[in-house]
Amino acid sequence: FCLVCAGVWMMRVKMPHLPRSFKAPLVPFVPLAGIVVCLYLMYSLPIESWYRLAVWLLLGLAIYFFYGKKHSKIREQ
């Protein structure tokens, strides 16, 4: 969610001409507040949660890459 908030803010600044189906209110305050609140919540997590995140992230990446290598359309060419 931190990355989403940062992306909303950066896109508004760097690409103001793009058409948008909705507009975030009070930019840059809302994205900055979202980043701060999310970082605080992440900071307050116990270390066990970070270990679990690392394990599940590695497992998910392994499945993603092994499945992608076997089922790649580019590889068939």
Each residue of 21-52: pLDDT tens digit? Answer: 888 889 899 999 999 999 999 999 999 999 99
Q: Three-state SS for 39? A: helix
**Closest to 32 measured CA to CA, from 73, 1, 65:** 1
Global pTM? Answer: 0.71
- 58 and 33 in one domain? no
Band (pLDDT 50/70/90 cuts) for residue 61 is very high
Residues 7 and 31 both lie in one domain: yes
Give yes or no: residues 60 and 24 share one domain.
no
Instruction: Report the alpha-carbon distance of residue 75 to residue 69 in Å, rounded.
Output: 8
Residues in contact with 35: Cβ distance below 8 Å, sequence separation at least 6, in sequence order = 2, 5, 6
Question: 43, 27 in Cβ contact below 8 A?
Answer: no
Domain that holds residue 33: 1-44
| Whether residue 39 is found in the same domain as residue 52 | no
- Total number of domains constituting the chain: 2
Judgement on whether residues 23 and 56 belong to the same structural domain of the protein: no
